[in-house]
Each structure stands twice: as structure tokens, then as C-alpha cells.
A and B are shown apart, each in its own frame.
Chain A
Amino acid sequence: MSTVSVDLLESNFEWRLPSRGRVGMYCLIAAEAAIFTIFVVAYLFYIGKTVSGPKPKDVLHAPILYTVCLLSSSITVHAAVRRLVAGNMVAFARFWILTILLGGVFLFGTAREWAHLILQDGLSINTNLFGTTYYSLVGLHAFHVTMGLLALSTVVLIYFAGRLRREHAERLEILSLYWHFVDAVWVVVFLVVYVIGV
């Protein structure tokens, strides 16, 4: 049999497929959610099981202000993408840079908290079981915030190079999905570490 020629049965065939970037990002988020689930389960399982101090209630203080900063950055990143869709480049850049600043403030908050815990309270990752689970879970989240900030900053570089255009709005929206995920994970981490865990 020779090569079968495949006719287009209906020439104006309506055929839509989901966006590759969006599907890929949702899959990545599913994988990351599975990783965080294991760390959260380990944290919950080990609450109260540490055999030596310092214990969570002696040293942990809920970082409310920094949490507000991180969660607001979800609103600003959404606003930025809306502005880009509307073609308002300057307003887009303002909101986008504000997002990076808010994320940066949050990261600074984590750094300050860690410095205090290590220098004042003598709690390090190898001090006790609480230290191991605390630094792992909060650190895993902080690592994701850092990665998100790097990605967001790359967009700023592209913007200042004058290469960012309105057509890139969908890609930036897909990137913002990751940022929303990082924020949502913080809600869970905050609940587990600073509410349930103390």
C-alpha cells in the first residue's frame, strides 16, 4: 500500500485545543503540590514529638505583616497582567515591580526571622526535630518564592530592554499562576506552622 493521502473532510473544521503553557503550568503546580503535601504531612505528624527544646511556642511569632505583603502580591500580579492585556505598558510595569517588591519584603521577613531564631534562640536545622521540620518546610517555601522572584525579575529585564509586548500577556499570566500557587502554599504553611503547630 502506498502512502495514504488523508483528505481534509471538512475544510472549515472548528478545532480548539487547550494552551500548552497553561496545561504545563497546571501539571507543574500539581507536582509541586504533591511535594509540599509530603512536607506538610511530615510537619503535622511531628508536632509535639520533638524531645528537646526550643519548642515552637517558645520561639515562633506569626509574621502577620510579611504574610499580608505576600498575599497582596497576588493581587498586584493579577492587576499587572490585566494592564498588559489592556496595552498599558507603564501601569503594567508599576504593578509588576510592586509585586517583586512585596515578594522581596516577604523574603526579607523570613531572613530576619531565621537570623533571630539562629542567633538569639539557638535553633538550627540540626538542633532538634522541630528545627528540622520547621526550616525544611519554611525553607522549601522560601526557595519557591526566590525562584518566583527570579522569574518575575527576568520579565522586568525584558521590559527595560524594550522587548516586552502585549502578545506576551498570556505567557505572563501563566507565570502569574505559579506566583498565585506560591502564595496559596504560604496560607497552608502559615496555618500549619504558626497556628496549628504552636
Chain B
Amino acid sequence: MSAVAPVLPMLLAQTRSELVTRWRVPAFSVTSLALPILFYTFFALPFARQTFPNGVSVGAYLLASFAAYAVGSVMVYGFGINVAIERAQKVDVLMRATPVPPGVVITAKVIGALVFSLFSVILLILYGVVVAGVRQDLSVWVDVTARLLVGSLPFVTLGFAIGYGSGPNAAPALANIIYLPLSFASGLFMPVSQLPGFVQRMAPYLPSYHYGQLAWSAVGAPTEPIGVSLAWLAGYTALFLAIAVRAYRREETRKFG
């Protein structure tokens, strides 16, 4: 008999539990699966079959926008609220006393969130294709999805920063008050060119704006060079990670010192 349990089955079971938990909390599953579709219906459906002067499909452009919104929201709300609640319920204390390595728990959370994001994006794109009649090659949609999943790291770390930095009551409010204006001002709800002037000037400094660029360039819209987007996203990842680590350390000292 080995002295410790193998990590892979542990990671699989932990990931499965994460997914089941997320699925069974309607506040989370409905918000992250249905809300992007609802927003797309309000903001994009009437114009979905039109094209921009540069020839890009409005329906496809906004589908990319709301896909970016959807993945970010799974990360920000998922980690932010879920971590804050687990801390309040002291789930972390019990887990801490078991032999499960903390890295396994965090990795399972990230994999669970990626799988959930994938569901959310697939549902949204299906809706856009079937209901709104948006037509693009399958490879375009695969490209949009892959870029958004890979680029989601700043929102993962933002979620952790909210989850470790606030309590279970403050976390949902904090997530909303940060994420919704951020999405709007970054042009995820309507193109940046249609936003008020001062918002347009602010947008290029926001993480969601550069995240959106990843998706917009996949549907053929003119964007900044991908290297610039990635650099901004890396910078924000580092910033949010620093905040999350600080909050995590403070909690460590208080709870487990």
C-alpha cells in the first residue's frame, strides 16, 4: 500500500464535484448559461443579419462579444462568490485537515470553470447560429472559443481576488459592480464606437476590452495586434493575482497561523 493516494483520481473526483456543485446552484448556472443568451437577444438579435461597413457580420461580432462576456462572468462570479461562500462555511478548514493537496482543489476549480465556460459559449453560439441565423465557418467558432478560454486568466485571478478579499455577502455585489460596468465600458454589450465619448477613451485601459479583441479578431474585425492584447491581459493577470495572493495570505495568518 502506498503512503498517499494518487493525485489523478483525486483531481478527477474533485473536478466532477465542482461541476455538479456549479450545476446545482441555479444562481450560478442560470446566470452563466442563460444570461448571455438573454443579453444577446436584447442587444444583438435585431441587428444580427446586418453587416458593418467593413463587411464584418454584426451578428457574429456581437456573438464574439457576448461569448467573451460569458466566459469572464463564469470566472469572476464562479470564483468570486464560490470561494467567498466556502470560506464563510469553513469548507476550507475541513479540506485543509485532509491529505488533499491545495493545488488539486484549485486546479479542479479552474478545470470546472473552463468546462462550464465551454458549455456556456457553445450554447450561446448555437443560439446565434440557429435562432439569429449568423453564418460563419465552424473553424471561426472554434477559434473564438479557444482564444477566450486561453485568455480568461485575468478573470480567474480577479475572481480569486474577490473571493479571498471579501465575505459571502459582499462578494456577489462586488462581482457585479466590477464586472458589469467593466463589460459595458469595454464594448462587450455594444461596439465601442457606439459608446459615449468618455467611455470610448477609457476602454483601451480595461482588461475586458483587450479580451474582446481576441474574440473580435477571430470573426474578422480589425483589431490591435494580438501581442498587445496578450500583454495587457498578462499585466492584469499579474495585478489581480497580487491582490488575490495578498488577501489569501492575510486569511492564512488569521485562520491557520
Do A and B originate from a single complex?
no
**Which B residues fall within an 8 A CB radius of A?**
none
**Which A residues fall within an 8 A CB radius of B?**
none
